[in-house]
Amino acid sequence: MRIRRLVLDVDKAFARPSLLDIARAIEPVAGVEGFNISVEEVDQETVGTLINVEGDNIDVSALLAAIEKCGAAVHGIEEIVVGERMVEYRHRAGK
């Protein structure tokens, strides 16, 4: 399966790992060409982030393992784009 984009819901503890630690973990994963890590919410002890990863033939299991290994917790995959072309999300008609 040729995975082109993944949007991940990732939580981390407030102090560690830092966003740079997570970035360092993601960068060498096979198939990753670029990514964005955005802080979505800050709780008392945790930070919720959304990680947008783009590339060609992204190794999902290696990506998830790399994020978990640096000490962050992957809560779910929010979006996945697969195939020859990038297909953007479209709102349902009438919404």
Partner 1 sequence: MRIGPEQLFPIVLGVADGTCTSLVLASQKMLAGTFDLWQALRIGILSSAAGFLPLWVAEYASLRNELARMARQLNQPSVRPLLRSDLGLSALHSAWFTAGLATLSSFLGACLPLGAAVLYPRQIYLPLLMANLVLMLVGIGLGRWVEGRRWVWALGLMAIGNALALLGLKVGIS
Binding site for partner 1 (CB under 8 A): 11-13, 16-17, 21, 43, 45-46, 68-71, 73, 75
- The length of the chain is 95
Give the shortest CB-82-to-partner 1 separation in angstroms: 27
In this complex, which beta carbon is closest to partner 1, that of residue 13 or of residue 86?
13
Give the shortest CB-45-to-partner 1 separation in angstroms: 5
Distance of CA 80 to the CA centre of its chain: 10
Q: CA angle, 93 as apex, 88 and 94 as ends, to 5°?
A: 135
Give the shortest CB-23-to-partner 1 separation in angstroms: 13
In whole angstroms, what is the distance from residue 21 CA to residue 38 CA?
14
In whole angstroms, what is the distance from residue 63 CA to residue 53 CA?
9
In this complex, which beta carbon is closest to partner 1, that of residue 33 or of residue 41?
41
In this complex, which beta carbon is closest to partner 1, that of residue 27 or of residue 68?
68
